[in-house]
Amino acid sequence: MILTGPGGSGKTTMADLLVKRRGFVKVDGDYLDSEFFPEGLHWVPENFKKLKQAHDKIFVEVKRLFDEGKNDVVLDYIIFGHYLEFFKKFKKEFGNSLEIKVLFPTKEEMIKRDEERECWTTGIERIEAVRAEFEAVRDAVGGDNFFNTTGQTPDETFEKYFKG
């Protein structure tokens, strides 16, 4: 499963719940791409080549786990651009066993969550930009794979969308 969405949408929280409650193996895409982006800035055009390298590294790790028989893998990752290319690569490899889930609360909810974070923050400008990028791929991913988690606790989101 690719679990994605803008920063602050709840990806890591849901991925951790999938590990705890359903026995998934988690792949932290942000951690894996950090060697390419120690300062961030994944999305700037001059980093396109590095972003593709990061995507390739993440793909290899997910495939390795799948090849080891770990079929319940959740990739927790924003992706940062080239979304359709990323999804198509995974779909080609994993076929119908691949699920793509996008956590997508309202912009206002995301800004609120971003302001309440104890670690890094995204900022309103990046929230708006990333939301627009996800909106652009909604039809290709399927609107029913976009989950509006506005006003939900993590437990409510899990029960509604991920209980299995």
Tell me the mean pLDDT in the region 122-129: 83
Residue 20 contacts residue 42 (beta carbons within 8 Å): no
Lowest mean pLDDT among 14-28, 35-49, 76-90, 92-106: 35-49
DSSP classification of residue 9: S
What band does 70 get if pLDDT is binned at 50, 70 and 90? very high
Return the CATH number at 108.
Answer: 3.40.50.300
What mean pLDDT comes out for the span 38-44?
74
Return d(Cα 149, Cα 109) in angstroms, integer. 9
Look at the chain and report how many structural domains it folds into: 1
| Cβ-proximal residues to 27 (8 Å cutoff; 6+ apart), any chain | 58, 61, 62, 65, 73, 74, 75, 76, 77
Q: What is the pTM of this model?
A: 0.91
Alpha carbon distance 131, 5 (integer Å): 8
Largest CA distance in the chain: 41
Q: What is the pLDDT of residues 141-153, one digit of tens each?
A: 999 999 999 999 9
Strands across the sheet with 2-4, in order?
25-28, 73-76, 2-4, 100-103, 146-147
Q: For the residues of 23-63, what is the DSSP string, one character each?
A: -PEEEEHHHHHTTT-TT--TTSGGGHHHHHHHHHHHHHHHH
Per-residue confidence band for 129, with pLDDT thresholds at 50, 70 and 90: confident
Which tokens in the block code for residue 56? 């390739």
Residue 127 pLDDT exceeds 90: no
| Structural domain harbouring 139 | 2-162
